[in-house]
Amino acid sequence: MEEQENEKNNLVNDRRSYSSRLGSTSYGSDSYEELLRGSVPCPTCRGKGNIPKEQEGELVALIPVRDKRLKPRRTCLYVGIAVFTCTVIFYSRCLYVGIAVFTCIVTAGLLFFFFSQRDVTIASNVSLLLPHNLTIDTAKKYVYFEVTYPFNISNLNYFPITLTQTSIAVQFNVKVINTTVSTFTLNVPMRSTRKFDVNVGITFSKDNGLAAMAYVYY
């Protein structure tokens, strides 16, 4: 209490000196106390209404609590716009990442589907083969003739293939009497079937133990 009383007296004295400098004597101690009743003096100017010029760059001015500058307008709107923008950016990036991942998965699946190897089948539906270029040598006791074996090659892949060589073994009574290797170039497009023929030479003689078959042809 004593400290507050001293501070009030100092304020009154300062106010009186300020009034005397302005040439006004209308401010007395009673009127100034009435002015300060129910309030506190400004901590910056200490109730003088002005501050020393040499302290102009040091003292801080106070802004009233009810000043509109302390109450930003449309805060909720700005916060909502910021949250909405961040949400849109986040989900847009998630969408882009999802699309990229989906595209990679689909591309990998398509590549695997189209470029995975499938069967290449070679088959013939001819049950009877007729000989041609028949040669019979009674002195050496052998018979030689050729047969043409037709084949169908089917490419089930989604890319073309090339057939360059075939090997056919002729077997009689569990005995291989001849093996024919044919070299050629046959291009088979994707998902298609091509025909080709292979000539096979067959010999019946003493060398392969089938001389008895040669006598049949005599």
Give strand pairing partners of 70: none
205, 141 in Cβ contact below 8 A? Answer: yes
Q: Please list, in sequence order, all residues whose beta carbon lies within 8 angstroms of the beta carbon of residue 167, skipping any fewer than 6 positions away.
A: 179, 180, 181, 182
pLDDT of residue 186: 94
Q: CATH number for the domain including 199?
A: 2.60.40
> If residue 36 lies in a helix (H) or strand (E), which one and from where to where?
helix 29-36
pLDDT of residue 140: 75
* Alpha-carbon gap, residue 166 to 163, rounded angstroms: 8
Alpha helices, DSSP H only, in 38-197? Answer: 75-115
Q: Same structural domain for residues 124 and 96? A: no
* Alpha-carbon gap, residue 27 to 11, rounded angstroms: 12
Q: Same structural domain for residues 151 and 174? A: yes
Q: Same structural domain for residues 151 and 178? A: yes
* Alpha-carbon gap, residue 143 to 212, rounded angstroms: 10
Per the structure, how many domains does the chain have? 3
Q: Same structural domain for residues 127 and 205? A: yes
> If residue 2 lies in a helix (H) or strand (E), which one and from where to where?
helix 2-22
* Alpha-carbon gap, residue 137 to 218, rounded angstroms: 9
Q: Same structural domain for residues 36 and 54? A: yes
Q: Same structural domain for residues 134 and 182? A: yes
Q: Same structural domain for residues 78 and 135? A: no
The span from the first CA to the last CA of the chain, in angstroms, equals 151
Give strand pairing partners of 176: 171
- The SS3 call for residue 99 is helix
Q: Which residues of the chain have pLDDT under 70?
A: 1-49, 51, 55-65, 67-72, 211-218
Q: Same structural domain for residues 190 and 141? A: yes
Q: Same structural domain for residues 126 and 187? A: yes
Q: Same structural domain for residues 152 and 174? A: yes
Token duo for residue 68: 């509109």
196, 159 in Cβ contact below 8 A? Answer: no
Q: Same structural domain for residues 43 and 109? A: no
Give strand pairing partners of 178: 170
Query: Rounded to the nearest 10 degrees, what angle do helices 29-36 and 2-22 cross at?
Result: 120
Domain enclosing residue 130, as ranges: 120-217
Neighbours of 155 (CB within 10 A): 22
Dihedral sign of CA atoms 32, 34, 35, 37 in order: positive
Q: Same structural domain for residues 100 and 124? A: no
